[in-house]
Amino acid sequence: MVAIWILVFREVLEAAMIVSIVAAATRGVAGRWRWIGSGIGLGCAGAAIVAAGAERLAAAMSGMGQEWFNAGVLLAATAMIGWHVVWMARHGKQLAMDAGRFGDDVSAGRRPLTALMVVVALAVLREGSEVVLFGYGMFAGGSSSGGLWTGGLLGVLSGAAAGAAMYAGLLRIPMRHFFRATNGLLILLAAGLAAAAAGFLNQADVLPTLANPLWDSSWLLTDDAWLGRTLHALIGYTAQPTGMQVSFYVAVVGLLSGGARLAAPRRESISAVPTPST
């Protein structure tokens, strides 16, 4: 039961970190929990479908179907985050200013929500499909269904709790830095997802590694450690990345920060409200 709890917790943790960043980044937008909830629901449905088709997927693309699918899902999530980040850079200051009067801006807020809902759905789909396969294996292998359900539920609850803790922590960032901080976190998240995609394309022998590995930081923090896993989920930390993974990471950070800077409206100061002359 404990083994199931730990494995489910690990997978849910990865998705929960993404959900917490998305939830923080959409602070103030009306109805966002419904969107996030829909994303999670869609992701769960998708996870079941992916798990059911696992054998066919594995056989596709000359046996590299899993690698292509994972890379595709990860790159789609990267693109969605990228779109959101650039969109927020253009409109975000306005939304931050009106952070109280969102009724008018619900339609304006809705567009980035779709992108982030897809990001949440894709994250839950990826991690969830592993949980479904694992759970099915445990069930078919004769584990007691009581232990299975208890372990699984505990895993989901503890993962969700970790996500809630991260979300609460993010909310403590002072308002004047808040959206820049969450934007930065989203960029790092996107970069991490892109690096993971590069890893799968290396695995599929479709992209060269360039260096394998480029460095080894497992003396500092291993992939297995809880901090290592959390940082992997948040910012894509890997102890032994290939050169191609690092290239993807740097490229995405560059593209999205540059894109956000270019998209930002000319007017710098939010607080520049003309004071009436006395």
Q: Does 212 bind another protein (CB under 8 A)?
A: yes
Minimum distance, C-beta of residue 152 to another protein, in the bound complex (Å): 14
Q: Mark 39-78 with x for binding to another protein (rule: CB under 8 A) and - for no binding.
A: ---------------xx--x---xxx-xx-----------
Nearer to another protein, 140 or 220 (CB): 140
Count CB atoms within 10 A of the CB of residue 205. Answer: 11
Residue 272 C-beta-side C-alpha neighbours within 13 Å = 6
Distance of alpha carbon 50 from alpha carbon 136, whole angstroms: 13
Q: Does 202 bind another protein (CB under 8 A)?
A: yes
Tokens matching residue 223: 């992939």
Minimum distance, C-beta of residue 190 to another protein, in the bound complex (Å): 20
Options 28, 72, 147, 213; binder of another protein; rule CB under 8 A: 213
- If phi > 0 it is left, if psi is from -120 to 50 it is alpha, else beta; for residue 61 that is left
Nearer to another protein, 133 or 173 (CB): 133
Minimum distance, C-beta of residue 72 to another protein, in the bound complex (Å): 15
Give residues 113-152 in contact with another protein (rule: CB under 8 A).
130, 133-134, 136-138, 140-141
Minimum distance, C-beta of residue 12 to another protein, in the bound complex (Å): 15
Q: Does 222 bind another protein (CB under 8 A)?
A: yes
Tokens matching residue 181: 């901080």
Nearer to another protein, 64 or 189 (CB): 64
Q: Does 3 bind another protein (CB under 8 A)?
A: yes
Q: Does 203 bind another protein (CB under 8 A)?
A: yes
- Residues found near another protein in the complex (CB under 8 A): 3, 7, 54-55, 58, 62-64, 66-67, 130, 133-134, 136-138, 140-141, 199, 202-205, 212-213, 218, 222-224, 238-242
